[in-house]
Amino acid sequence: MSTLVTLLAAARSGALARGLAASAALGVVGAVLAGCGPASGSETLTVLAAASLREPFAALETTFEEEHPGIDVTLSFGGSSDLADQIEAGAPADVVATADETTMARLSDAGLVAAPTLFATNVLTIVVPTGNPGDVRSLADLGRRDVDVVLCAPEVPCGRAAAAVADGAGVAPHTVSEEPSVTDVLAKIALGEADAGLVYVTDAATQPDDVKTIPTPEAADVVNRYPVAALSEAPSPDLADEWIALVTGEEGRSALSEAGFGAP
């Protein structure tokens, strides 16, 4: 800083000196500010995850960053099939967690991920808007023509599970819309845009004021198992392994259990 003071003092001696001093002073100020600024070049861990994992993974993001100073965790959520499409298209990522084994097997068979590890389970439940305008009381009511039903699209894990639950009970839902993720189904029900939907119990629990759950014992026979894996071309393979260790370890199990997920 003494250099800066000297340069500014010299600037008072004349026009030429003022010009030279001003230029030098700006250089010194820039150097001082650069030295005081935040560190650059922080490493990033990119995690692609099924939409239903938003709550527990957000909690684990905080834990991971606290345990790894200088590491920025970037979470991207979506339907599992959409995530697989992104990976197949070459999207850069370190870890992927899907809501079913079928989607992960697709990536594994293509050599795009390392050996997957199961870390959670989930089941579906019927949700209706608060007030239950369609008077839905059971899974059978989803087949009524006066009940508008929203489900996940069949290529999405929650869509496959919904089809399995309905087929097992001999019910043909009166489906008016198929959505790309379970959170989209939940949003439509919460907004009252349909009379009923099938979502994971974990998602239903996130909006207790906007939706009501209807007992769905038939869903107990259709359990979604969640695998997580590092991408074969992960930019940060060591960090990917550490994230997976967190998810499958005690802290991960606690966060998942708190969100309503079952053990693997």
- Give pLDDT, residue 20: 31
43-121+225-258 placed in CATH 3.40.190.10 = yes
Can you give the residue ranges of every domain in the chain?
2-36, 43-121+225-258, 124-221
From residue 138, alpha-carbon distances to 22, 204, 229 in Å are 79, 16, 37
Determine the residue type at 164: A
Strands (E) located in 100-223: 117-122, 124-129, 149-152, 175-179, 196-200, 211-214
| Topology classification of domain 124-221 | D-Maltodextrin-Binding Protein; domain 2 (3.40.190)
Single-letter amino acid, residue 203: D
- Is 43-121+225-258's fold the same as 124-221's? yes
Report, in angstroms and rounded to the nearest whole number, the Rg of the chain calculated over CA atoms.
26
Q: Count of CB atoms within 10 A of residue 66's CB? A: 9
**Residue 205 phi, psi dihedral angles, 5° rounding:** -70, -15
87 CB burial (10 A radius; 0-12, 13-18, 19+)? buried
- Give the residue among 245, 238, 249, 204 at the shortest CA–CA distance from 43: 238
Q: Which 8-state DSSP code applies to residue 261?
A: P
Q: Is the pTM of this model over 0.85?
A: no
Note down pLDDT in tens along the chain; length 264 residues.
Answer: 333 333 333 333 333 333 333 333 333 333 332 333 333 457 999 999 999 999 999 999 999 999 999 999 999 999 999 999 999 999 999 999 999 999 999 999 999 999 999 999 999 999 999 999 999 999 999 999 999 999 999 999 999 999 999 999 999 999 999 999 999 999 999 999 999 999 999 999 999 999 999 999 999 999 999 999 999 999 999 999 999 999 999 999 999 999 999 999
Cα 62 to Cα 46: distance, rounded to the nearest angstrom: 14
DSSP 38: P
On whether 182 is known to bind a ligand per the annotation, the reply is yes
Which candidate, 118, 104, 94, 98, places its Cα nearest to that of 231? 94
What CA–CA distances, in Å, run from 39 to 29, 68, 200, 227, 239? Answer: 18, 15, 41, 35, 20
**Residue 250 corresponds to which amino acid?**
E
